[in-house]
Structure 1
Amino acid sequence: MKKLILSLAILASTFTACTSSDDNSSAQPVTGEITGPITVDKTYPLGTYTLKGIVKINAGVTVTFDAGSTITCDKITGDNALVVLNGGKLIINGTSALPVVFTEKSGIPGSWGGIIVYGDAPIKAIGGVTTSTSEDGNALPYGGTNPTHNGGSLNYVRVEYAGAKLADGTKENNGFTFYSCGSGTTLDHLVSYKGADDGYEFFGGTVSMTNAISYGNYDDAFDWQDGWQGQNNSNWYALQVTKGNFGMEIECSNNNNAFWPKVTNVTLKRAAGCTPEVAGDIQVDAFQFKKEGNGDFSNVIVDGYGNYTEGANVYQGAAVKIQDATTNTNQVNGSKIKLTNVKISNTTQTNPVGATGAISVSLPSGQFTTSTTATGASLTTGAWSTVGGVNLIQ
């Protein structure tokens, strides 16, 4: 009997210990501060973090964020940004239900520098040079000969309230900024929310982006220069509210070229009452091509680029505008600009036009086609695309 009682006691003790261990094994959110430079591999588990300063991920270093984390910075503490230097990697493992959110305490657009990634993929900057210096305040070189550069994998990431200048930068930063990133970099299910500059900007490179939302950014929803040539882009969605310039600002830094990016499934929307970012600087078109910009776009929805009135002047929004004569001659007439299966609504000028009457735009046969059946971006909603209970895909 004593042996039986002892055996039962041991069994009960073992069962209780296992139950306690199982309860404690569940991953618990953590808190912490993120500062830089980051010089060794680091994984940030599910948690709530404060990002302080211009945090740089050094070359040879991989930084990983687990799903569901929130990273907050505070503009009162000074300049803040997350910068991946060439050779470093940022791995963000968000999910639809558990995105990784980078935000700023005040909730005011233009309060921090967003996520900036550097690579050494090819570029063609002003003057045809293959390397240049960033305008983000870091003043770092970018450009190279590595088209497959890998700066990491960004999945289900939202950046909020970015667009600040860093240090003495010549330009505001964007929600996401990619300097000569290569095709080995993964950009999927990203949201740029209420920034003071562009939602996304590419400075050359070969990286592609899929399933991207640009919501309420003050400048352009999507922007690129320096010969960006990503080929596998799809499902881009933009809604410009309150303030906003072009849906897409497309240029190639005055370099005529034989390459261009391709984007399928595009939705560009401008809400009623949305005004240009700066009074007197009228930029209210869906697609703007300038400085030898080009591209191939298919299955496109353009909606809401109608008239804008400022003072006694009425400005007519356009689905497609060609800003300068050189772009018209080399890119339009050279069949390097192509928009097919385009559905246009609530937009004043439905045919491609020039910025002035001196620019007569006529895309070659088959380079611009409209339809009533285009579907635009096809995105699945979830926590990743919802802010404050509002679905960003409208």
Structure 2
Amino acid sequence: MRVFKHFQKTLLAGVGVLALAACTQGENIESPGATNPGTPPGGGNNGGGNNGGGNGNTAECPTGFTTGTSVGGLTVCNISGSILGDLTLPYVSGVAYQLNGRVDVGIDVGADGATPGGSAGTLTIEPGVTVFGASGADYLVVNRGSRLVADGTQDAPIIFTSENDIERRAVDASDTGGSNISEWGGVVVLGQAPISRCQTAATPGTDQCTNVVEGVTSPEASYGGSDANDDSGVIRYAQIRFAGFAINQQGNELNGLTLAGVGDGTTIENVQVHNNSDDGIEMFGGTANLKYIVLTGNDDDSLDTDNGWTGNVQYLAIKQRDDGGDNGFEMSSTLDGADNPVVPQTNPTIANFTVVGGRSNAFRINTGHIGRFLNGVVAYDTNCFRWQDSAGDTDPSSYSGLTDPTFNSVLFDCAVLTDASPDVPAAVDSVNADANNVVGASSLTSMMFPGPNEQGVTAFDLTTLPGSFFEDTDYIGAFSPMESETNNWAAGWTFALFPAPSCPTGTTRTGEIDGKNVCAVAGVQTEDLTLTRGNYYELEGRVDIGVDVGADGTAPNGDVAVLTIEPGAVIFGNSGADYLVVNRGSQIFSNGTRQNPVIFTSQADLEDTQADPENAISEWGGIVVLGDAPISRCQTAATPGTNQCTNVVEGVTNPEASYGGSDATDSSGSIRFTQIKHAGFAINQQGNELNGLTMAGVGSGTTIEYVQVHNNSDDGIEMFGGTANLKNIVLTGNDDDSLDTDNGWTGNLQYLIITQRATGGDNAFEMSSTLDVADNPVTPQTNPTIANFTVVGARSNAFRINTGHIGRFLNGVVAYDSSCLRWEDTAGDTDPSSYSGLTDPTFNSVLFDCVSLTNASPDTPAAVDSVNADANNSTNVSNSLINVFINGPNEAAATAFDLTTLGDPFFEDTDYIGAVKDANDRWWADWSCGLEASTPC
């Protein structure tokens, strides 16, 4: 096992310094201005962050603040009582501000602002400041008419946390607190916006309808009124950690963030609540809107909505702890004494959300709650729904006038869709009401980022919603496919959202490259293996997935395994001896996405040590996938296309690896949005080399889409029999043939780009089949249908067609500085002198622009006849390709073959020849390399 030591560019985790400041109540202190240098205390670094500080800290509290007992090596400045007027907590490096008991901002001015004795206050907290409490009795209340301006930045979020958290992280800056909860109180914001639950008899939504908020006593604190545009301040780029407490009784707890009667004039953006002992955020009525919200590890409900809240949320990530949490959402409204809904009903619109957990229910929907839920992902190990009969069914037995919640473009992946709740039919009906809702498996990576299944869901068009709050998105879930663990809207200001990458089970950590773990994969894998994003994976020698189960699945000692590779994962080898073999019966799921392809490459490529990157080949082995679909070349005497007709694949030795069988629909998994670079190797002799991607006996149940093979020393892709279909394939710079077909492959291919290197390459296509000892073709003959292809090169021949190969080639462009065709007399001429029973390949709507149509091959007349057989083929029109492979005017003028006449649903209908219609056709972009200057290989 190779061990990596001190690879270049090892990332160093910086240790931030906790900065806080506190003030005594009632004093109006003028802020001296932010002095934060940009390292967030306890935030930042993609959900990590550091709360530094240490012995010898000489920081002093700002003028007007009293100094408390040092915590975690930080100077502590005290805040207590009521803040009247304006107070600012300045950022001072090495300072933290402590809430001593309940701290009130202002005194309640009432719903109309005229309550006697009321007094407005404003608490401003500068970016980078940390405010903490030592127990559940320490919490912050922003009263009606007052404002909290906690306006952090991505690089310097504001931290509300506990004394214990500061002390833990002073010892170990990476300490995320585990399952710690209830270490201080929380943040309560009270406003004058409408609510539906009145403390005394009153008309909901008016100034007379007010209530007292839960969790706050001695004295109680009131909220509600009639001002939908109430402005209670700004909470932006802020964390609230380890809070929550039952002030006087169970069920009357403090939430991490309580928003009660808060209006839409308030800004709530980029806020995280982590490990709260009650709800993460609870909305008691009001109209407040929220954006970029992270709720992690909360011990009751992550988001609790009640009392007539009618606001919006966009971009919401919910992740539960393994050992804590109740519902993802608990959602209630208000019914009157006759069980009719009270207006305003709780009716939020929540878009682009991801809920990951396994406790109770993802949604518990109660008592008249409506709500609209759009573009969501629910990955939940228990129930998606608990749906009360009072929730919203339009005609339940005991309720009337209720409306069901609505779901559009939501992927539900739960153990069960609903529990045994009273109104299961209404829940099922609501999910089934939109065909774009999907009940099926999720493919999230790092628990949050969309994989291929999420990207397969049609997103709801948010531009159709009223108002301007929602940003248009074309994806479901909280994060876009273009985001990653280190580049996303939550990066830099959240805490413990994404787990630090570690080597998964079945791999061994051997070091680092560029600060990322190197996880070695070796030997024969007989257990399912998942390669998670965020690491580099080294193939150590030949790596087998499973043990061959034979053509019929009953081979002695056969063992099936599944290899799953997450989007963005990188796998590498260091020599030609390092390669991957997926044996018969086992599967590979290389689940890349357009924005985060899976990459197979070489160690030299990762370390940037290639002497000549543009021509680097043969730096590791390659990928071999073996199936039990029919083949025509048998290793021993047998009937082709049966289970008895098997063969051993080229390039694999010690032991050899077999393929072939009778299952035309064999599934060896899927390879999508995947690059294979700098591979290929002669294992033991010339002619027995590893290709970039070898598919031998692979069946039509396998998905091969959006795959690039770049700079392979042998063929880019070689097909040894089978029935596999391919779509959106890019073959660049390969040193032998770009696409090699043999042994009875009968699949389809649509959209194929082939470009050769200036200094390497042989034929673009080399195409063979099998003849028997009497030179008759063996069935199945190699007979693919290949449509919408563009071939650009200058080495050997565009097509070398041998030994009984048939094939149909439709809507192609061949721009070749050598011969278009080398056509052996064994290829398929209907009456060559020495062969019989052969059929020529067919060309329809292909533009041939070569130095010569044919070389001096034995059967030139048959080649010419095949080209001339369709008047829509052209040999006298120059190509006008733009940027090497994109159609220009001459290609656009060509008459395309009507693919619908094939009667095969695999082929998409096109009205053009070539792989790329025009400059707007970018199916090849983002996930591939080397086709444009912005994405070099």
Do they superpose with TM above 0.5?
yes
1:11 maps to what in 2? 186
* Aligned amino acid, residue 305 of structure 1: D
Indicate the SS of the match to 2:671. strand
Matches within 5 A, 1:213-232: 213-231=730-748
* Aligned amino acid, residue 578 of structure 2: N
The Cα of 1:244 is off from its aligned counterpart by 1.1
Higher Rg of the two aligned structures: 2
The Cα of 1:26 is off from its aligned counterpart by 2.2
Q: Which of 751, 766, 770 is residue 253 of structure 1 equivalent to?
A: 770
**Alpha carbons of structure 1 residues 195 and 344: separation in structure 2 relative to 1, 3 Å:** same
- CA offsets, 1:322-348, max 9 Å, x none? 112463236999654111111122x12
Q: Which of 689, 692, 695 is residue 175 of structure 1 equivalent to?
A: 692
Residue 803 of structure 2 corresponds to residue 302 of structure 1? no
- CA offsets, 1:193-250, max 9 Å, x none? 101111000000000111111100011110011010003x100110011211111111
Residue 862 of structure 2 corresponds to residue 349 of structure 1? no
* Aligned amino acid, residue 745 of structure 2: W
Moved more, 333-342 or 360-369: 360-369
Indicate the SS of the match to 2:828. helix
Q: RMSD of the TM alignment (CA)?
A: 3.0
Aligned residues: 366
Matches within 5 A, 1:96-245: 96-107=594-605, 108-125=616-633, 129=640, 130-138=645-653, 139-166=656-683, 170-231=687-748, 233-241=749-757, 242-245=759-762
* Aligned amino acid, residue 200 of structure 1: I
**Alpha carbons of structure 1 residues 208 and 330: separation in structure 2 relative to 1, 3 Å:** farther
1:322 maps to what in 2? 823
- CA offsets, 1:88-128, max 9 Å, x none? 11111101111111111235311222110001100001687
Find the aligned partners of 1:368 and 1:144 in 2 and give their Cα distance: 40
Q: Which of 911, 915, 920 is residue 377 of structure 1 equivalent to?
A: 915
1:265 maps to what in 2? 788
**Alpha carbons of structure 1 residues 261 and 360: separation in structure 2 relative to 1, 3 Å:** closer
Indicate the SS of the match to 1:363. helix
- CA offsets, 1:12-41, max 9 Å, x none? 534464479563122554421111211111
Find the aligned partners of 1:327 and 1:28 in 2 and give their Cα distance: 58
Find the aligned partners of 1:368 and 1:333 in 2 and give their Cα distance: 26
Q: List alignment gaps of at least 5 residues for structure 2.
A: 1-80, 82-99, 104-136, 140-183, 188-242, 245-255, 257-272, 276-293, 297-493, 503-516, 547-558, 606-615, 772-776, 875-889, 895-911, 917-921
2:581 maps to what in 1? 83
Find the aligned partners of 1:330 and 1:154 in 2 and give their Cα distance: 41
Q: Which of 538, 551, 555 is residue 50 of structure 1 equivalent to?
A: 538
**Alpha carbons of structure 1 residues 122 and 363: separation in structure 2 relative to 1, 3 Å:** same
**Alpha carbons of structure 1 residues 205 and 358: separation in structure 2 relative to 1, 3 Å:** closer
* Aligned amino acid, residue 111 of structure 1: E
The Cα of 1:170 is off from its aligned counterpart by 4.9
Residue 574 of structure 2 corresponds to residue 70 of structure 1? no
Moved more, 257-266 or 22-31: 22-31
The Cα of 1:169 is off from its aligned counterpart by 8.0
Q: List alignment gaps of at least 5 residues for structure 1.
A: 277-283, 307-316
Find the aligned partners of 1:102 and 1:11 in 2 and give their Cα distance: 48
2:521 maps to what in 1? 34
2:800 maps to what in 1? 288
Indicate the SS of the match to 1:304. strand
Find the aligned partners of 2:831 and 2:699 in 1 and give their Cα distance: 27
Contact map agreement 1:118 1:180 (CA 8 A) in 2 = yes
Find the aligned partners of 2:675 and 2:695 in 1 and give their Cα distance: 15
Contact map agreement 1:335 1:364 (CA 8 A) in 2 = no
More strand by share: 1
Find the aligned partners of 1:169 and 1:223 in 2 and give their Cα distance: 16
**Alpha carbons of structure 1 residues 368 and 251: separation in structure 2 relative to 1, 3 Å:** farther
Contact map agreement 1:325 1:359 (CA 8 A) in 2 = no
- CA offsets, 1:112-171, max 9 Å, x none? 221100011000016874322222223222211111111111111111111112356851
Contact map agreement 1:303 1:344 (CA 8 A) in 2 = yes
Give the alignment's TM-score, normalised by structure 1: 0.83
1:310 maps to what in 2? none
* Aligned amino acid, residue 46 of structure 1: R
- CA offsets, 1:43-70, max 9 Å, x none? 1110222221110000421111110111
Contact map agreement 1:147 1:205 (CA 8 A) in 2 = yes
Find the aligned partners of 1:388 and 1:225 in 2 and give their Cα distance: 28
* Aligned amino acid, residue 370 of structure 1: N
Contact map agreement 2:698 2:722 (CA 8 A) in 1 = yes
Contact map agreement 1:256 1:330 (CA 8 A) in 2 = no
**Alpha carbons of structure 1 residues 287 and 55: separation in structure 2 relative to 1, 3 Å:** same
Find the aligned partners of 1:92 and 1:122 in 2 and give their Cα distance: 24
- CA offsets, 1:261-280, max 9 Å, x none? 1111111101xxx5x5xxxx
Find the aligned partners of 1:46 and 1:121 in 2 and give their Cα distance: 32
* Aligned amino acid, residue 711 of structure 2: K
Indicate the SS of the match to 2:829. helix
**Alpha carbons of structure 1 residues 301 and 358: separation in structure 2 relative to 1, 3 Å:** closer
Find the aligned partners of 2:543 and 2:932 in 1 and give their Cα distance: 30
Q: Which of 323, 338, 341 is residue 842 of structure 2 equivalent to?
A: 338
* Aligned amino acid, residue 356 of structure 1: P
**Alpha carbons of structure 1 residues 35 and 323: separation in structure 2 relative to 1, 3 Å:** same
Find the aligned partners of 1:341 and 1:391 in 2 and give their Cα distance: 32
Indicate the SS of the match to 1:35. strand
* Aligned amino acid, residue 320 of structure 1: L
**Alpha carbons of structure 1 residues 210 and 28: separation in structure 2 relative to 1, 3 Å:** farther
Contact map agreement 1:104 1:111 (CA 8 A) in 2 = yes
**Alpha carbons of structure 1 residues 301 and 38: separation in structure 2 relative to 1, 3 Å:** same
Give the alignment's TM-score, normalised by structure 2: 0.37
Find the aligned partners of 1:54 and 1:330 in 2 and give their Cα distance: 46
Indicate the SS of the match to 2:843. strand
Indicate the SS of the match to 1:153. strand
* Aligned amino acid, residue 650 of structure 2: E
Contact map agreement 1:221 1:246 (CA 8 A) in 2 = yes
Moved more, 112-121 or 248-257: 248-257
